[in-house]
Amino acid sequence: MAEHIQMDNAQPKDYLIVGAIDFGTTFSGYAFSTKHDFFKDPRNLGNISIKHWVDPISTMPYNKTSTCILFTEEKIFDKFGFEAEAKYLDLILDNEHENWYFFRRFKMSLYEIQSEVQEIIVEDETGKTMSARKVFSESLRFLVNSLFDEVRKQQADIKMTDIRWVVTVPAIWSDPAKAFMRKSAIEAGIDSGMLTIALEPEAAALYVKHLPVGKRISDDFETFAPGSKYIVVDVGDYDKKMELRPTI
């Protein structure tokens, strides 16, 4: 697995916090944990903090928010996630949306990229175009800043340089697509020496490794024993609630 970990520096800098961003096709979110808590007991999943997002339309909380981003008429970032959806819906109702830029499911644009110098353009809901690099980097910037704000609520003295960042990507992506994501993350404000691009199935496999799924005679739960085999299945991030949301 080590060959898939893409670090710019051979020796990563020291860190106190690990912040992981799951940038999905339909939904995105993040979680973080202290390095100390993980090495103390990696099986204690209660040490992991997850952002809870409130959908302003349904007022329901979720562990992820929609992968949607809204830009103004001047192509300036305005909202991301559920808030972007809600504001764009208001713009539609007021018939003021045509000159705004609203993107969703734009992650799909990277599946076909074959060259690092290839210019990628994405279309918004009404067919207007924008550089994919700007759409991705501004989306990641929002998630990075949001994660940092949540960390500071728990540890006010934490700095950006104290955080090791992990951004997951699909295993089936080409190397240029993974490089595109890395560059977008760096443009979003992440120090290249503190950034790890991890494959989604490998991240899931490592997570499962620490789950208490076995049971001993003493009734104590244990993680997988050496030699155990398991299958990781990606069922996607489709959520039934999307069928209940207004079409915009």
Provide the residue range defining the domain that includes 164: 2-244
Structure-block tokens of residue 160: 């950006």
CATH number at residue 82: 3.30.420.40
Q: What is the largest CA-CA distance in the chain?
A: 66
Q: Between 172 and 141, where is the model more confident?
A: 141
Task: Tell me the average pLDDT across 132-160.
Answer: 96
- Residue 60 pLDDT exceeds 70: yes
- CA dihedral 218→220→223→226, nearest 10 degrees, is -20
The pLDDT score that the predictor gives to residue 12 is: 56
pLDDT band at 213 (very low <50, low <70, confident <90, very high): low
- Residue 58 pLDDT exceeds 50: yes
Task: Tell me the average pLDDT across 78-100.
Answer: 96
Domains identified in the chain, total number:
1
Chain CA centroid to CA 100, Å: 24
- Residue 6 pLDDT exceeds 60: no
- Residue 1 pLDDT exceeds 80: no
Q: Could you tell me how many residues make up the chain?
A: 248
Cα separations in angstroms, 116 against 76, 113, 138, 169, 174:
25, 8, 19, 16, 10
- Report the C-alpha gap between 177 and 185 in whole angstroms: 12
Q: How crowded is residue 165: how many other Cβ atoms within 10 Å of its Cβ?
A: 27
